[in-house]
Amino acid sequence: MKANQRGFMIVKILAISFILLLLTVESSLQTSIIWDRASAWTPWLYKVGPFSIADIVIIIVSLYVLFRFILRPVIINSPYVGLCLLALVYLCIGLIYNLSVFTLWKPYFYDIKIVLFLTVPFLFLMMLKKDARVLQWLSPKRIFIYYALAGVIDFSIVNIFGESEYPSYLGYPAVPQIFPFSLIIVGIIFGTKKKYKILFLLMFGIELLNAVNRLSLGILFNAGAIILYILILSVNVKVGVRAVLVIFSVFFVNVMAVLLITNPLNMAMLAAKGEGFTTRQVQLENVLLNFNINIPGVIGKGLGSTWFEMVPIPETDIYSVGSSVGKSSESAMASPVKFIFNWTPPSLLYKWGVIGSLLLCCLVAFYFQRYANEIRQLKRLGVNKMNIRYLYALLIISTIYILENFTYIGQAKQSLITSIIVFNAVYSIQAKFVETHSVVSHGE
């Protein structure tokens, strides 16, 4: 009994650690805190030696999951595991890059961390799926409440003790994103009652204004991409056609992103981000120049790979380089290689290549198709309409998170949310099957 109690206590501490990460921000309104990690108020940035607190959390949970698998090996039958294995393959390609092309371990270990955040929370929760107490702490509803509170907490700390460094395009204080557009747009479409749809529409308007005020054009663009993803996921087609649709949508979204940074319509709001757009154009140009050097770009250079700076990044945009390839921003700017990509198109093409991107899209399509078919089976078994809509909405949100955070490897907190949301989608569908079959058996 005491051993079981100790084991549950460990699990609770690890789950609470995830909640702490969800309640804090990875990117603050006071962006300059990334330069002095000892003064950061968020565990994503505050460092203890070479590691942030978030790094320590994911390392400890990874060791716990590994230990549990060694004691009791299990096979988790989910297409999401295939996505994580593909990421592992591309970490191996990145290792080859670091050993044979240019050795720089800091970026490589960073992408290892991202893959851990995409993988380990899912496996951790799969091990605990019989323990409803812990799972309730990380339910979909609570995840988005934690997400909202994180933004409110950062806004409060920055405005009381620091200074917001985001622009104020509309003239009022910059407010961070409180609810993600993926949740809001899916809520508008799949809300079961009129009052919920109105609430989500109100949230959409507020988030839209706040994004414009912060000049968060990437978030605005992603909102449009989310609508496209929902459309192609809502069509009832076979898995082969689904894969083609996912490939098309990812290709279309990335091509549109490349076209828009040229500001073809001369929009004032886009012109206000001219320096950032220049940096993105330079990053894409460097990717194309690096494409056929060393590891073929068709295969992809792998996760954790750096890129040779053939066209220089604007010296004033130190945030586009950070300290990812040097101990300071100055040494990083002077480095012959760079690591950070500030948007998806060059990151996807460079790290995953053509083959990796196609495999990624096919696995995402297979993930969605597998669970969409299971939801349809539940519908045939007589599960009520509201439960079906909820499961379908949760599946679509999880698929959008996968598309966003596998095509752009680099956001640790978003990767954590992806892993937990995917678990909730998979677990909710499986649990409903168990419940439905139990009811049918008792009925017989």
Least confident of 126-140, 206-220, 226-240: 126-140
With contact defined as beta carbons under 8 Å apart, do 161 and 194 qualify?
Answer: no
What are 413-443's pLDDT values in tens digits? 999 999 999 999 999 999 998 888 665 455 5
Q: What is the mean pLDDT of residues 17-33?
A: 95
What are 108-118's pLDDT values in tens digits? 999 999 999 99
What are 344-396's pLDDT values in tens digits? 999 999 999 999 999 999 999 999 999 999 999 999 999 899 999 999 999 99
Q: What is the mean pLDDT of the chain?
A: 92
pLDDT in the model for residue 287: 97
Q: What is the mean pLDDT of residues 92-107?
A: 97
pTM equals 0.95
Residue 2 pLDDT > 70, yes or no?
no
pLDDT in the model for residue 332: 87
Residue 262: band (very low, low, confident or very high) from pLDDT cuts 50, 70, 90: confident
Q: What is the mean pLDDT of residues 250-273?
A: 83
Residue with the bigger pLDDT between 93 and 268: it is 93
Residue 270 pLDDT > 80, yes or no?
no
pLDDT in the model for residue 146: 98
Residue 125 pLDDT > 60, yes or no?
yes
pLDDT in the model for residue 1: 46
Residue 318: band (very low, low, confident or very high) from pLDDT cuts 50, 70, 90: confident
Residue 399 pLDDT > 80, yes or no?
yes
In the numeric block, which tokens belong to residue 356?
A: 């990796």
Length of the chain (residues): 444
pLDDT in the model for residue 9: 87
Residue 275 pLDDT > 80, yes or no?
no
Q: Which of 24, 6, 1 is nearest to 413 (CA)?
A: 24
Residue with the bigger pLDDT between 441 and 99: it is 99
Domain range annotation of the chain: 2-163+214-261+344-443
Residues 6+ apart with CB under 8 A from 328: none
Residue 132: band (very low, low, confident or very high) from pLDDT cuts 50, 70, 90: confident
Residue 185 pLDDT > 80, yes or no?
yes
Per-residue three-class SS string for the chain:
CHHHHHHHHHHHHHHHHHHHHHCCCCCCCCHHHHHCHHHCCCCCCCEECCEEHHHHHHHHHHHHHHHHHHHCCCCCCCHHHHHHHHHHHHHHHHHHHHHHCCCCHHHHHHHHHHHHHHHHHHHHHHHCCCCHHHHHHCCHHHHHHHHHHHHHHHHHHHHHHCCCCCCCCCCCCCCCCCCCHHHHHHHHHHCCCHHHHHHHHHHHHHHHHHHHHHCCHHHHHHHHHHHHHHHHHHCCCCHHHHHHHHHHHHHHHHHHHHHHCCCCCCCHHHHCCHHHHHHHHHHHHHHHHHCCCCCCCCCCCCCCCCEECCCCCCCCCHHHCCCCCCCCHHHHHHCCEECCCCCHHHHHHHHHHHHHHHHHHHHHHHHHHHHHHHHHHHHHCCCCHHHHHHHHHHHHHHHHHHHHHHHCCCCHHHHHHHHHHHHHHHHHHHHHHHHHHHHHHHHC
